[in-house]
């Protein structure tokens, strides 16, 4: 049973704007997407959560939770329906 103030945290990709290392973007090889080129580490810190560029060994973002943790989080992985995956693989590609 969930509290009415508690909202569901989806395990699907809900990212509306990706975060990138500016150094990676500046040297991005032609034809490669920023997401494919990225070498990112993400983890908890004493302050909150940090996104780190492993290629350039530099900070991308360090978010301070301002001591308000714990924040609600969903650490579950999406479970794929094997039939849905098979159907997707059978779809004609646009590329
Ligand atoms: Zn980088």
Instruction: Locate the domains of the chain by residue range.
Output: 17-72
Residues in the chain: 95
Confidence of residue 84 (pLDDT cuts 50, 70, 90): confident
pLDDT tens figures, 13-26:
999 999 999 999 99
In sequence order, which residues have a C-beta less than 8 Å from that of residue 51 and are 6 or more positions away? 19, 40, 41, 42, 59, 60, 61, 62
Contact status, residue 48 vs residue 65, Cβ threshold 8 Å: yes
Largest CA distance in the chain: 50
- Say how many Å lie between the CA of residue 85 and the centre of ligand 1: 33
- Say how many Å lie between the CA of residue 50 and the centre of ligand 1: 14
- Confidence (pLDDT) at 5: 67
Q: Give, as residue ranges, everything with CB less than 5 Å from ion ligand 1.
A: 21, 23-24, 53, 55-56
- Confidence (pLDDT) at 48: 92
């Amino acid at each position: 049973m969930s509290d009415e103030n508690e909202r569901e945290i989806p395990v699907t990709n809900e990212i509306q704007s990706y975060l990138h290392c500016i150094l990676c973007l500046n040297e991005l090889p032609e034809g490669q997407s920023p997401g494919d080129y990225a070498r990112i580490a993400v983890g908890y810190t004493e302050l909150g959560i940090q996104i780190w560029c492993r290629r350039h060994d530099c900070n991308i973002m360090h978010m301070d939770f301002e001591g308000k943790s714990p924040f609600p989080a969903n650490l579950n992985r999406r479970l794929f329906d094997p039939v849905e995956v098979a159907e997707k693989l059978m779809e004609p590609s646009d590329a």
